[in-house]
């Protein structure tokens, strides 16, 4: 008897196949699905002139999808060092997916058809995100074939349905304000970002990315509107939209917070050295907690050793850093 898992998996995968492969492959899978719907009591699905078990077919589809994802993302990983925007996009996707992009194919394969389908459903922007990576990879994947002489006539950037960056940013402002009362994680970013969890940050990024507001796009829109390259975090963009808070480079926020820490205590040379190491790591992380410290200082004894060096003041220091980076304001 057929179980529901293959049906759910195939249902999700067919849309990915349409995007990542070709229309004819999509038609094949759609045909198999339609046959299943018509013959749901049947043990097997008609598939061209063959008869294929739905569960094994779902595995085949997943395997093919994983291979396609692997080729795209591994090539992106290799080219990322030479392409800043591509590297930034991969870092953003790792935060969204909770897995390194170069290992996504392995992750999907290990999940199996049903859980992989759930993963794809949860990360509804996956197709759009892979398309963005393909675009950033360059013309190798999307060659322009013509006998004519190349000529640059115009250079523009797309803002989705918006023609101007200011319209895009205004749409973002409106979206944030509309979602504030509906999304607890987003409300936490605005009211008390120092209490934001990693899970909530991922939820917020998925929400915004699904609506077309990625951190990279927001930064680009601000750069086009103001002629200033302000590397603010996604938290900074949200608080600007909700509170009118000035958009400050995250690195500057960290520097100001650390200056406050240095001046608030009488640190020994060794303690100051550890704090300076911490400062260098903070510019890459929005969530500042013991888990972060433990990971970044794992080769030096982790959070336990850091706390010992600071005479059991690590919790206090982390609280003060978070308060200084994100001062509490009301919407």
Distance, CA of 237 to CA of 246 (rounded, Å):
9
Top pLDDT among 160 and 201 is at 201
d(CA 208, CA 218): 10
CA distances from 124 to 12, 119, 167, 171, 179 (A): 10, 9, 25, 21, 18
Nearest to 5 by CA among 68, 51, 62, 66: 62
Looking at mean pLDDT, say which of 14-23, 29-38, 202-211 comes out highest. 202-211
Highest mean pLDDT among 112-116, 151-155, 215-219, 312-316: 312-316
Determine the Cα–Cα distance for residues 234 and 201; give it in Å rounded to an integer. 9
Nearest residue to 193 (alpha-carbon basis) of 315, 322, 290:
322
For the record, the structure tokens of 116 come out as: 């992989």
pLDDT band at 22 (very low <50, low <70, confident <90, very high): very low
Answer yes or no: is pLDDT of 62 > 90: no
Predicted confidence (pLDDT) per residue in 140-187, tens digit: 545 555 556 666 666 666 666 777 888 899 999 999 999 998 899 999
pLDDT: is 195 or 122 the higher one? Answer: 195
Residue 254 pLDDT grade (very low, low, confident, very high; cuts 50, 70, 90): very high
* Confidence class for position 56, pLDDT limits 50, 70, 90: low
Please state the φ and ψ torsions of residue 45, each to the nearest 5 degrees: -105, 135
pTM above 0.75, yes or no: no
Looking at per-residue pLDDT, the higher value among 62 and 250 belongs to 250
């Amino acid at each position: 008897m057929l179980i529901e898992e293959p049906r759910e998996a195939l249902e999700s995968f067919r849309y990915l196949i349409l995007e990542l492969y070709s229309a004819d492959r999509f038609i094949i899978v759609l045909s198999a699905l339609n046959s299943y719907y018509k013959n749901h009591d049947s043990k097997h699905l008609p598939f061209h002139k063959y008869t294929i078990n739905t569960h094994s077919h779902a595995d085949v589809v997943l395997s093919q999808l994983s291979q396609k994802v692997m080729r795209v993302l591994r090539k992106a990983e290799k080219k990322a060092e030479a392409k800043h925007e591509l590297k930034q996009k991969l870092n953003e996707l790792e935060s969204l997916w909770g897995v390194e992009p170069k290992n996504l194919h392995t992750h999907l394969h290990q999940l199996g058809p049903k859980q992989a389908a759930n993963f794809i459903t949860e990360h509804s922007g996956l197709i759009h995100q892979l398309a963005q990576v393909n675009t950033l990879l360059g013309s190798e994947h999307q060659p322009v074939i013509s006998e004519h002489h190349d000529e640059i006539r115009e250079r523009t950037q797309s803002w989705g349905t918006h023609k101007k960056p200011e319209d895009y940013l205004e749409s973002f402002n409106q979206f944030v304000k509309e979602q504030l009362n509906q999304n607890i994680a987003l409300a936490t970013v605005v009211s008390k970002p120092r209490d934001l969890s990693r899970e909530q940050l991922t939820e917020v990024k998925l929400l915004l990315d699904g609506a077309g507001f990625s951190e990279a796009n927001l930064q680009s829109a601000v750069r086009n509107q103001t002629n200033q390259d302000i590397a603010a975090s996604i938290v900074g963009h949200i608080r600007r939209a909700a509170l009118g808070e000035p958009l400050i480079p995250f690195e500057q926020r960290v520097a100001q917070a650390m200056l406050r820490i240095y001046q608030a205590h009488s640190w020994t040379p060794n303690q100051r050295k550890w704090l300076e190491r911490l400062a260098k790591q903070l510019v890459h992380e929005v969530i500042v907690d013991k888990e972060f410290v433990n990971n970044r200082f794992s080769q030096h004894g982790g959070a336990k050793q850091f706390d010992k060096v600071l005479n059991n003041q690590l919790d206090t220091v982390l609280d003060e850093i978070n308060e200084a980076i994100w001062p509490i304001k009301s919407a």
